[in-house]
Amino acid sequence: MTKAVATISPTRMELIRLRRRIELAQKGHDLLEQKMDALMMEFLGLARRIRVKRKEAFGKLLEAHRKLLRCMAWMGTAETIQASLETARELELEVSSRSIMGVRVPMVEEVRARRKPTERGYSLHTGSALLDEAALQFEETLSALCGLAEMEEAVRRIGRELERTRRRVNALEYVLLPRLKSMVAFIAFRLDEMERDNFARLKRIKAMLEGREWRK
């Protein structure tokens, strides 16, 4: 701290310059704080929505597993696995990118996961009704899980941006601005001191001159 203080020259120019820097830093701080507030709002909103979506998606998933177990019990595990491997497994997601305050986040548009039994590709077995049910439920679950994945990815990235922004805000508020302000205080004090010294000197000179005049 003392090192920095020693290198600044206590001039009026410097004071003006510093005051301008403070103004800019303060403005920067306020703007970044706004961004931080907005990010926090997004973050909390997403967290809330994730909790809701999880209940829905995981609920569907559990139901899907129940149906699968029923199918395996009826058809046999090996047969069910066989059917799964026979299925046409080329499901595609349409993924695009969106931005939340500059944070790139993936977005999944409508997933056409639901298929008709004939579209799935496995050959018809006995007990295929149970197989169809299980397959359908897993398809439904997938749609919900895609929406959830999107949100979880977003919340993670926003969390990171939020932390970065907060660090900048704190650096301004707790390091830069106080430092600048104390430099201003120092210069103001020194200028004041020099002025008082000057004033005292002038007084003495004046007294000397008056003294000479008087002796004349």
Which 151-210 positions form the footprint of other proteins (CB under 8 A)? 152-153, 155-157, 159, 162-163, 165, 168, 171-172, 175-176
Return the range that interacts with other proteins (CB under 8 A); candidates 11-19, 95-103, 193-201, 202-210. 95-103
Burial of 200 (0-12, 13-18, 19+ CB in 10 A): exposed
Query: For residues 86 and 195, which CB has a smaller minimum distance to other proteins in the complex?
Result: 86
Go through the chain and tell me how many residues it has: 216
Q: Is 51 a residue that touches other proteins (CB under 8 A)?
A: yes
Q: Do 39 and 156 form a contact (C-beta atoms < 8 A)? A: no
Q: Is 135 a residue that touches other proteins (CB under 8 A)?
A: yes
Query: For residues 107 and 202, which CB has a smaller minimum distance to other proteins in the complex?
Result: 107
Residue 151, amino acid: M
Query: For residues 95 and 200, which CB has a smaller minimum distance to other proteins in the complex?
Result: 95
Query: For residues 98 and 196, which CB has a smaller minimum distance to other proteins in the complex?
Result: 98
**Angstrom distance (rounded) from CA 53 to CA 149:** 10
Query: For residues 121 and 202, which CB has a smaller minimum distance to other proteins in the complex?
Result: 121
Q: Is 84 a residue that touches other proteins (CB under 8 A)?
A: yes
Q: Which of 18, 75, 130, 146 binds other proteins (CB under 8 A)?
A: 146
Query: For residues 62 and 207, which CB has a smaller minimum distance to other proteins in the complex?
Result: 62
The Cα-based distances of 209 to 71, 130, 137, 149, 201 in angstroms read 115, 116, 106, 88, 12
The closest alpha carbon to 64, from 138, 132, 131, 147, belongs to 138
Q: Is 17 a residue that touches other proteins (CB under 8 A)?
A: no
**Angstrom distance (rounded) from CA 78 to CA 134:** 15
Q: Is 144 a residue that touches other proteins (CB under 8 A)?
A: no
Q: Tell me how far, at minimum, the Cβ of 103 lies from other proteins, in Å.
A: 8
Return the range that interacts with other proteins (CB under 8 A); candidates 6-14, 55-63, 183-191, 203-211. 55-63
Q: Is 142 a residue that touches other proteins (CB under 8 A)?
A: yes
Q: Which residues contact 151 (CB under 8 A, 6 or more apart)?
A: 46, 49, 50, 53
**Angstrom distance (rounded) from CA 90 to CA 154:** 26
